[in-house]
Chains A and B, each alone.
Chain A
């Protein structure tokens, strides 16, 4: 009996192990498919851009092909992801199943799912390379058509064409600072980089909810203040207590009230005032530098609802330039944060 048990266990262990391996394989395949999908999507966008900016038929056709292939790659990647999920689930089932038969069955199914995932990944890769090919073809065709029409980057009569728009950012709206802060923590944990929280007044702790580092403004202000202090000492010493000649200007040692020309106590008020003055300027321009102000144009202003950010609403924006940005994935994330309103803001391409 004991030996049977051991044998049974060994068999079971092998099956579970096989299932786990299959799940791992499926996961890798899904990741590859995901990469291929991203690359295909990029190629698709590139081709679409070319098509939008050139009217030649060859460009349009190539672009359409690239778009189609990108769609295929996306479907394949989805299939790969589904298969991988299934494989993982089956592997878990195999691990938890009570009787050997079930274990073996689950393990077999997991293997099958892994195979499917790998096949889908292959498909995605193939679609991706076709899409890339089509995109570069579209690019070449565009250059050719541009050359033919005698212009490069400048587009004659572009203003007569309708302005094309492309997604710039997602804008999620919240009614309360609490909801916005909790949502910001989730976005921070998801690892986004080019995103922001917009509030009508400074919400305390939001910078930590966003995972921002503290400001270095104080150092700038202090450095500027020290420059002011040194300027005052130098200026007074040069003008009232020296005979130095600097750039053709001459200092003059001035004796007033029987005090020595460089009497320190009488320098103090102006040393102080100039330190304050330059600290003020340092802080102002430091603020402009760190906050990247003035900046009068930003895609976020394209949203009609955004005006409420300076009134009574709280917003989270995630920009498309973020490396983790994904039209569907990011939307899913933001939807899961239960905003009162969510929109995709577009800017002029």
Chain B
């Protein structure tokens, strides 16, 4: 039975799941979360989250009533926390797609423990992200103008605008993420349906399980569908943050007008998304005691990913300075040296946002270097702290790009400062509440780990072909 395990051992590695993990154990430990009463830890997180959600909707009501003047945005800083939060939340979502799609294409089986979780995070994060530009239009009840719908004025959208591309990219991303997530859920919903005792649970899970009966005639098409979703989500996720970066890169603002933005944004998105997956996973595995399905090996791999993406963003930060110097463009150099680093100008004035830049570099480049040490990248308290710091750093990255580039541009007479108002802060903090509320409902009622996928990745899950004729018959299939 253990041919695969032997091969893994020969390579000097350990299987991801303990060799004696049974199928029943996987079913049990994931399904029981949806069946047992919620643990106290869940309520301790849920109630504050719900309160913050209330705060979010209250601040949206205030904003819509009194207009976006209740934000701190004002000339010259027309984009501030709203767009920072939009880019940050979209970026958070990207880790989910990366884990579910790109790691699937690379056949990284360890992803199966975290992909469902990360995909849910993607959907909820994109929901938060979508709020900000929708509200930033000022009159959100006219947001339907964004879509190519015939209207009474005979005006069509301007498809040359990157903001229009954003509309298509983000709504496509949201739709595909939901479909991908749901298709992945179908077999696991069937598992929960089959375990259900009460009529209501049977009907509810049964309805969404679509009558799935684990038939090989289903799996055959299902696995191909999954592969197609992974194959289209991979370029999609790269395109979404590229398009988001076009919002800046196609402008002529020094500090925004750079060709490095698309890959730089994508790397940063994956970086921050992994960090948030880690933060949430560390809490969830503790609260629902799932340490064997999400093992320290998984966490260590995630930390290695963060280290790699941290080096990528660090490289991008350095490259921006190089290009500013190499271009010989003094406006560009001013943005980087004065607005960001805070070096004194001719009059001896310091750049007022220097602390944001240094917070960004510290959190995003310095902190992850600790993951070179095996002891630190397998230390749960440290990785918890580090992932929170990384998310703060990634928020600052977007703040630095957006606000420091526009607060002091060509004419000193037009300079200004940006400070957030209470509504700005409330709205941002409120999205955390909304995100966590949705997320907690998800882990409470849906299988948070992909049961069928974990089973398929267990050491003994796949039949091994002992007789040679049999093995030969299957050889070309394996290659496929």
**A277-B176 in contact (CB<8A):** yes
The one of B169, B179, B217 that contacts A212, using a Cβ cutoff of 8 Å = B217
Is A136 among interface residues, defined by CB-CB distance under 8 A?
Answer: no
Contact with A203, one of B191, B463, B478 (Cβ below 8 angstroms) = B463
Task: Enumerate chain A residues within 8 angstroms of B222, measured Cβ to Cβ.
Answer: 202, 287, 291
Binding site for A on B (CB under 8 A): 1, 22-24, 27, 148, 150, 154-162, 164-165, 168-169, 172, 175-176, 179-180, 183, 187, 190-191, 193-195, 206-207, 210-225, 228-229, 232, 235-236, 239, 243, 246, 452-453, 455-456, 461-465, 473-474, 477-478
In the complex, per-residue mask of A277-306: 1 if CB is within 8 Å of any chain B CB, else 0: 101110110111011011111101100001
A54 at the interface (CB under 8 A from B): no
Q: State which of A30-38, A121-129, A155-163, A255-263 sits at the interface with chain B.
A: A255-263
Known: A249-B150, A259-B160, A270-B159. A201 touches B211 (CB 8 A): no
Q: In the complex where A273-B168, A274-B168, A310-B194 touch, is A199 in contact with B214 (Cβ < 8 A)?
A: yes
Which residues A243-269 have CB closer than 8 A to chain B? 249-252, 254, 256-257, 259, 263, 266-267, 269
* Residue numbers in A under 8 Å from B161 (CB-CB): 256
Q: Are B213 and A201 in contact (CB under 8 A)?
A: no
Which A residues fall within an 8 A CB radius of B?
A: 176-178, 180-181, 184, 196-208, 210, 212, 214-215, 217-218, 221, 225, 235-236, 239-240, 249-252, 254, 256-257, 259, 263, 266-267, 269-270, 272-274, 276-277, 279-281, 283-284, 286-288, 290-291, 293-298, 300-301, 306-312
Q: Which residues of A contact B148 (CB under 8 A)?
A: 235, 239
Distance in Å from the Cβ of A196 to the closest Cβ of chain B? 5
| Alpha-carbon separation in the docked complex, A221 to B213 (Å) | 24
Q: How far is the CA of A201 from the CA of B461 in the complex (A)?
A: 9
A50 CA to B328 CA in the complex, in Å?
95
Give 5 A-B pairs besides A205-B465, A270-B168 with Cβ atoms closer than 8 angstroms. A201-B456, A257-B160, A273-B165, A309-B214, A310-B190
Partner of B216, one of A206, A294, A306: A206
Interface residues of A: mostly helix, strand, loop or mixed?
Answer: helix
Q: How far is B214's CA from A309's CA once the two chains are assembled, in angstroms?
A: 7
Q: Is the CB of B175 within 8 A of A204?
A: no
A330 to B451 alpha-carbon distance, docked (Å): 33
* A294/B211 in contact, CB under 8 A: yes
* Chain B residues, CB < 8 A from A300: 213
Known A218-B228, A256-B158, A312-B27: A181·B216 in contact at CB below 8 Å: no
Which residue of B154, B164, B225, B453 is within 8 Å of A201 (Cβ)? B453
With A284-B183, A301-B213: A201-B156 Cβ-Cβ less than 8 Å: no
| Residue with the highest number of chain B CB atoms closer than 10 Å, among A180, A207, A267, A291 | A291
Interface centre among A212, A249, A274, A280 (most CB of B within 10 A): A280
Contact of A250 among B154, B217, B235, B243 (CB under 8 A): B154
The reply to whether A196 and B160 contact each other, CB–CB distance below 8 Å, is: no
Are B216 and A276 touching (Cβ within 8 A)? no
* Chain A residues, CB < 8 A from B246: 269
Which B residues touch A257, using CB under 8 A? 160
Partner of B211, one of A184, A256, A270, A293: A293
A311 to B191, Cβ gap below 8 A?
yes
Complex CA–CA separation, A203 to B148 (angstroms): 45
Assess whether B160 is in contact with A279, with CB atoms less than 8 Å apart.
no
A272: chain B residues at CB < 8 Å are 235, 239
For A284, the chain B residues whose CB sits under 8 A away are 179, 183, 225
Q: Which residues of A contact B217 (CB under 8 A)?
A: 196, 210, 212, 291
B473, A199: Cβ atoms under 8 Å?
Answer: no
**With A270-B168, A274-B168 as given contacts, are A291 and B218 in contact (CB-CB < 8 Å)?**
yes
Q: List 20 A-B contacts (CB under 8 A).
A: A201-B456, A202-B452, A204-B478, A207-B219, A217-B228, A249-B150, A263-B160, A269-B165, A269-B239, A270-B165, A273-B236, A273-B239, A276-B236, A277-B175, A283-B229, A283-B232, A291-B218, A296-B207, A296-B211, A306-B194
State whether A286 touches B225 (Cβ < 8 A): yes
- Give the CA-CA distance A273 to B154 in the complex, in Å: 25
**Within the assembled complex, what's the spacing in Å between the Cα atoms of A216 and B157?**
37
In the complex with contacts A239-B156, A280-B175, A295-B211, A196-B183 CB distance below 8 A: no
A202 and B23 contacting across the interface, CB-CB below 8 Å: no
A215-B224, A239-B157, A280-B179 known; A270 vs B215 contact (CB < 8 Å): no
Residues in B whose Cβ lies below 8 Å from that of A256: 158, 160-161
Q: Is B156 a contact of A252 with CB atoms below 8 Å?
A: yes
Closest residue on chain A to residue B168 by CB atoms: A273
